[in-house]
Amino acid sequence: MSSLLRKQLTEHVYAAEQTRLGTGWSNSGLVAAGGGLVIDSLYDVKLTRELAGLYAEVFPSAPATIVNTHHNGDHCWGNQVFVGAEIIAHTGCAKRFSDFTPERAEMIRTMVDPPESMRSIHEEWADFDFSDVVLTPPTTVISTDHVLDLDGVRVDLLYVGPAHTEGDLIVHVPDEGVVLMGDVLFNKCAPIGWEGSTENWIAALRRVEELEPQFVVPGHGPVCDLEGLREARRYFEAVQSHARQSWSEGRSVLDCCAGIDLGPWVTWDEPWRLAATVHRVYRECDGAAWNTPFDAGVVMADVEELRRRLEG
């Protein structure tokens, strides 16, 4: 089950860190000032109620504002728990908010005999419950950077997409040296991206590095510092460089993956997601734009094949 831990990072900023590994087990944040600001709800109602309970212990009032860093369900499907809250997101999040629904996820989760292509995600979703999730979309949609004032605590919403997704927002509390990253940062676990570009993702990480935060809250993985950001950027740069060379030599995605020295990243969780990043670089080498549709089934088939190879 869930292993959520609330961590106080500074006077006003808390992280809810999910110590359980795997798909969908994500982090959140709270700025306990003004009417209260929650950064990302969680994947289902039960889990988000647990999150709300943790926050209520240090900020008893119902939070007035939610920021969804992007549209993936593990960062916004619990929005309904925060009744009446203003929900802020980027245009790219809002327009894709219902692209994949909780009803579809619940159908996959409860399959009696899922097809091979869905077996892994069926197993990974076993401990969630999407049956009572009601999509609760953004009420305030922004298209560029935005500043909030929580009774004197400044909070900057910075648009850095399309990186992990089109609508990537990060949340910076400048006077307290904290950045909450959503899935622009996976720490100690291999990243995966959907619509977006490798170059933009690297640029987003560099932008946050320049802010020199003391605390960085990733979308997945443990809270870290600047070194966690740098390590993620170096991963993307190394994979991008190798993948470009492999593409020019006509190698398959899996052959490319086999030739990449994972070095310091070999112990990261779900290292087989490397195949998805290589696929993205290959599409970029083919001249595809960041929002060019692609066959996610083909990508995930290679991810699963690399998993089989790595697990032996």
Q: How far apart are CA 24 and CA 43, in angstroms?
A: 7
pLDDT at 2 over 80: no
Q: Is 124 exposed, middle or buried (0-12, 13-18, 19+ CB in 10 A)?
A: middle
- What is the set of domains in the chain, with CATH numbers? 4-225 (3.60.15.10)
Q: What pLDDT does residue 288 have?
A: 96
Secondary structure (DSSP) of 218-267? -SBS--B-HHHHHHHHHHHHHHHHHHHHHHHTT--HHHHHHT---GGGTT
Q: What pLDDT does residue 194 have?
A: 87
Dihedral sign (CA 128, 112, 274, 293): negative
Mean predicted lDDT score pLDDT of the chain? 96
pLDDT at 174 over 60: yes
Query: Nearest CA to 15 among 168, 268, 224, 191?
Result: 224
Query: Nearest CA to 224 among 186, 193, 262?
Result: 186
Mean pLDDT in residue range 270-286:
97
Q: How far apart are CA 216 and CA 187, in angstroms?
A: 10
pLDDT, tens digit (0-9, with 9 covering 90-100), for 121-135: 999 999 999 999 999
Q: What pLDDT does residue 50 have?
A: 97
Q: How far apart are CA 256 and CA 251, in angstroms?
A: 6
- Tell me if 58 sits within 8 A of 21, measured CB to CB: no
Mean pLDDT in residue range 203-217:
98
Q: How far apart are CA 157 and CA 149, in angstroms?
A: 11
pLDDT, tens digit (0-9, with 9 covering 90-100), for 27-67: 999 999 999 999 999 999 999 999 999 999 999 999 999 99
Q: How far apart are CA 220 and CA 237, in angstroms?
A: 20
pLDDT at 163 over 90: yes
Q: Which has the higher per-residue pLDDT, 2 or 273?
A: 273
- Tell me if 260 sits within 8 A of 214, measured CB to CB: no
